[in-house]
Amino acid sequence: MTEICEAPAGTGTLTAARWTPVCDYDDLQPERGVCALVEGRQVAIFRTHDGELYALSSHDPFSGANVLAWGIVGCRGGLPTVASPMYKQVFDLTTGRCLDDPEVSVRTFRIRRNGGRVEVAES
């Protein structure tokens, strides 16, 4: 999933975003996660079977551990998800919302494919 940054009308410059390169796209295995350090935060990066990319905090709010990058990738109700390897709560990869407890969510991050590289930015 490539995010395209366009210049605001009349400015001639790209919208400000600090993108951090995290890995090569081909290094990501489908249906698996990896952890990257972005702006001092542990971010879980996922590539789904259809090639889409997602990024969310690796911090599991239920266990307090940074483990979501090692969760089980799947889907529920048509939504791409990751289940925590600790207590198995399921999070929507697009919104970070916990599907088992809608009052809980994890932070999501902007992610893009820039050529063969994967980059993450603060949301």
pLDDT tens-digit map of 9-63: 333 444 578 999 999 999 999 999 999 999 899 999 999 999 999 999 999 999 9
**Strands 53-57, 72-76: pairing kind:** unpaired
Q: Per-residue pLDDT tens for 69-81?
A: 999 999 999 999 9
Assess contact for 113 and 1: CB atoms under 8 A. Answer: yes
28 found inside a domain: yes
pLDDT tens digit sequence for 100-115: 999 999 999 999 999 9
From the list 31, 38, 75, 79, the residue with the least C-alpha distance to 57 is 38
**How far separated are the first and last CA of the chain, in Å rounded?**
16
Q: How many domains does the chain have?
A: 1
pLDDT at 20: 97
Task: Tell me if 8 is assigned to some domain.
Answer: no
- Is 13 domain-assigned? no
Q: Is residue 2's pLDDT more than 60?
A: no
Question: Quick check: is 60 in a domain?
Answer: yes
* CATH number of the structural domain spanning residue 105: 2.102.10.10
- The chain-wide mean pLDDT, for the chain, equals 89
Q: What is d(CA 46, CA 24) in angstroms, rounded to the nearest whole number?
A: 12
Has residue 10 been placed in a domain?
no
Residue 77: inside a domain: yes
**Which residue range is the domain that position 42 belongs to?**
24-121
d(CA 49, CA 6): 28
Does any domain span residue 73? yes
| Residue 66 maps to a domain | yes
The DSSP secondary-structure symbol of 97 reads: B
pTM for the full predicted model: 0.85
